[in-house]
A and B are shown apart, each in its own frame.
Chain A
Amino acid sequence: MDSFRDKIVPVTSILLGVVVVWYVMAVILNTPFQRDLDRRANEAPGAVEFLGKTLSQPKPTLPAPHQVATNFFENTFLRSVTSNRSLVYNAWVTLSSTLLGFAFGTALGIVIAVGIVHVATLERSLMPWIIASQTIPILAVAPMIIVVLAAIGITGLIPKALISTYLSFFPVAVGMVKGLRSPEIMHLDLMHTYNASRSQTFWKLRVPASVPFLFTSMKVAVAASLVGAIVGELPTGAVAGIGAKLLAGAYYSQTIDIWSALVAGSVVAALLVMVVGIAGRLVDRAMGGRPA
């Protein structure tokens, strides 16, 4: 009951508001083109008929929510999942490189964090470069990675995954540096009184203390991985994937396709963040976390 009042009601109200604004904007933005069409066809439809027409154009400036919903439903549930028009197929293509890149990125982030926490010079030498790496626009880097790797014969999943890695290692590295440094002085002193070795302090204190930080940063990283995978699909010649659908939609002014690909991307992102969140909660519970 509490979750109904605290979560569902506020979220639903905002959603309703968004849908209303969306419809209003669709009418406003599609009106000029519809007027143009009617003038050429010498038609003078009534207000209600005109309104209906603005919301059912085949290539509207802004598709109405129900148009996107219909397109999304058809391309998700009514098509064979092996068809390259299926959103499930395209989402899977994007998801596979997202997951691979996310795994690389998380591993790389952890390795960098461990290095930085244990070697003082690494923090001074590596950290500025890591921060600088994230200031470079990914849209500029992505085509170069694809082209350079293609030139040495690496194509397909790996180049896209590497772009995901590029975006996802950063939050993990930053979060893990914080997490590995999170133990209280008292806990560190305690280990010192036991004459614990560095590796004992690392495995028995620093690593368990960093786990909540790891999952928080992994939530950010998995969303960034998806962005990386979609961006990575744009310069590959638009073969498959959510990014490819977006690009193809833009080429052929299939605005409804673009929007439903966008929805598919959002659904995938939400699911990924949710899965990481659930994994985080399960691990927390297994580590004796207090039920919230």
Chain B
Amino acid sequence: MTRNSPAVVSASKLGLTFQTNDGPVQALSNVDLTIGKGEFVSFIGPSGCGKTTLLRVIADLEKPTAGTISVNGMTPEQARESRAYGYVFQAAALFPWRTIERNVGLPLEIIGLSKAEQAERIKRTLELVNLSGFEKKYPWQLSGGMQQRASIARALAFDADLLLMDEPFGALDEIVRDHLNEQLLELWERTNKTICFVTHSIPEAVYLSTRIVVMSPRPGRVSDIIESTLPKKRPLDIRETPEFLAIAARVRDGLRAGHSYDD
């Protein structure tokens, strides 16, 4: 369904080689990928498979050395300059000297919105991540999960249609992670954003995604792309259904085919 809508991200023969002291390292090689509007795409693979690098290329935090990539029909640099995406890092990366509301307002200040507009958007996005009432708190006064939610609010605050998330829940314990996964799905359904989500957890990838991109290392490449057959409404216990387990098994097969389990 979503595949026919205009591409938000479109990569073709994309490659990136880092020059290091030990010689060139091929972080990405021959990546072909199209992500449609409203999709939830997970990138999964062992460390060194280039999943984070690919996300950073989309965000114009790294420059590709081969192939082409477009974001919203523009170059990644143009897309970044037009604030086409919100980026959520592995750590919450909140500024410790700013309260939660001022952290969420940071991108709005930079864009140059009016004070009234800022206040309105801060209120709306904090409601979206269930952090109303914590506006005046400083980051250290919040738990790790709440901090990460605040950082998601910050990425949503300026209403970009694309959300890039780099293992946002990797540092949290499993109970908090389950809870945030559920909330993220809810948020995705309500906002209809396109989400690119990097993870190294198979259940997380299967639970969240409409499509799972399996990647493998040396060189970093896409080894399989799996369409999810799960319905859009996903209660947490969907993870015990045979359908869910079948998709998880396919992801694992994909990882094995890419030699991700080799020593």
Q: Which of A's residues lie within 8 Å of B, judged by CB?
A: 184, 186-187, 189-196, 200, 204-205, 208, 211, 287-290
Is B83 part of the binding interface, using a Cβ–Cβ cutoff of 8 Å? Answer: yes
Chain A hits for B99, CB < 8 A: 288
Docked pose: A257 CA to B111 CA in angstroms: 64
Expressed in whole angstroms, the minimum distance between the Cβ of A281 and any Cβ of chain B is 14
Expressed in whole angstroms, the minimum distance between the Cβ of B168 and any Cβ of chain A is 12
Is B127 part of the binding interface, using a Cβ–Cβ cutoff of 8 Å? Answer: no
Is B87 part of the binding interface, using a Cβ–Cβ cutoff of 8 Å? Answer: yes
**Given A184-B93, A186-B93, A189-B61 in contact, is the A194-B107 Cβ separation under 8 Å?**
yes
Chain B hits for A196, CB < 8 A: 110
**Given A184-B93, A186-B91, A186-B93 in contact, is the A193-B110 Cβ separation under 8 Å?**
no
B140 touches A290 (CB 8 A): yes
11 further interface pairs, Cβ-Cβ under 8 Å (given A193-B61, A194-B106): A184-B93, A189-B61, A189-B87, A189-B89, A190-B89, A190-B93, A193-B59, A208-B95, A288-B98, A289-B96, A289-B97
Docked pose: A192 CA to B97 CA in angstroms: 19
A195 touches B80 (CB 8 A): yes
Closest 3 CB pairs of A and B: A288-B138, A287-B97, A193-B87
A204 touches B109 (CB 8 A): yes
B87 touches A190 (CB 8 A): yes
Is B237 part of the binding interface, using a Cβ–Cβ cutoff of 8 Å? Answer: no
Expressed in whole angstroms, the minimum distance between the Cβ of B107 and any Cβ of chain A is 5
Chain B hits for A184, CB < 8 A: 93
Chain A hits for B110, CB < 8 A: 191, 194-196, 200, 204
- Contacting B95 at CB < 8 Å: which of A187, A193, A200? A187
Chain B hits for A187, CB < 8 A: 93, 95
Chain B hits for A204, CB < 8 A: 95, 106, 109-110
Is B207 part of the binding interface, using a Cβ–Cβ cutoff of 8 Å? Answer: no
Chain A hits for B81, CB < 8 A: 195
Chain B hits for A208, CB < 8 A: 95, 97
Chain A hits for B107, CB < 8 A: 194
Docked pose: A194 CA to B105 CA in angstroms: 12
Docked pose: A234 CA to B93 CA in angstroms: 52
Docked pose: A31 CA to B111 CA in angstroms: 78
Is B85 part of the binding interface, using a Cβ–Cβ cutoff of 8 Å? Answer: yes
List CB contacts (< 8 Å) of B100-138 with chain A: 106-107, 109-111, 138
* A190: nearest chain-B partner, CB-CB: B93
Chain A hits for B59, CB < 8 A: 193
B80 touches A193 (CB 8 A): yes
Chain A hits for B139, CB < 8 A: 288
Report 24 cross-chain contacts, Cβ distance below 8 Å, ordered by A residue: A186-B90, A186-B91, A187-B93, A189-B61, A189-B89, A191-B110, A192-B60, A193-B59, A193-B61, A193-B80, A193-B85, A193-B86, A193-B87, A194-B106, A194-B110, A194-B111, A196-B110, A200-B110, A204-B106, A204-B109, A204-B110, A208-B95, A287-B97, A289-B96
Docked pose: A204 CA to B103 CA in angstroms: 11
Expressed in whole angstroms, the minimum distance between the Cβ of A38 and any Cβ of chain B is 68
Docked pose: A206 CA to B140 CA in angstroms: 20
Docked pose: A289 CA to B95 CA in angstroms: 11
Chain B hits for A211, CB < 8 A: 97
Chain A hits for B80, CB < 8 A: 192-193, 195
* A192: nearest chain-B partner, CB-CB: B61
Docked pose: A205 CA to B99 CA in angstroms: 14
* B136: nearest chain-A partner, CB-CB: A288
Chain A hits for B87, CB < 8 A: 189-190, 193
Expressed in whole angstroms, the minimum distance between the Cβ of B110 and any Cβ of chain A is 5
Docked pose: A195 CA to B80 CA in angstroms: 6
Tell which of B97, B99, B110 has the most Cβ of chain A within 10 Å: B97
Docked pose: A186 CA to B96 CA in angstroms: 13
Expressed in whole angstroms, the minimum distance between the Cβ of A109 and any Cβ of chain B is 21
Chain B hits for A195, CB < 8 A: 80-81, 83, 110
Tell which of A190, A196, A290 has the most Cβ of chain B within 10 Å: A190
Chain A hits for B106, CB < 8 A: 194, 204
Docked pose: A189 CA to B56 CA in angstroms: 10
* A291: nearest chain-B partner, CB-CB: B140
Docked pose: A160 CA to B48 CA in angstroms: 60
* A283: nearest chain-B partner, CB-CB: B97
B97 touches A194 (CB 8 A): no
A288 touches B85 (CB 8 A): no
* B106: nearest chain-A partner, CB-CB: A204
B97 touches A288 (CB 8 A): yes
* A286: nearest chain-B partner, CB-CB: B97
- Contacting A288 at CB < 8 Å: which of B61, B90, B96, B111? B96
Docked pose: A121 CA to B98 CA in angstroms: 33
Docked pose: A204 CA to B59 CA in angstroms: 21
Docked pose: A247 CA to B89 CA in angstroms: 62
* A183: nearest chain-B partner, CB-CB: B95
A194 touches B93 (CB 8 A): no
Chain B hits for A194, CB < 8 A: 83, 106-107, 110-111
Chain B hits for A290, CB < 8 A: 138, 140
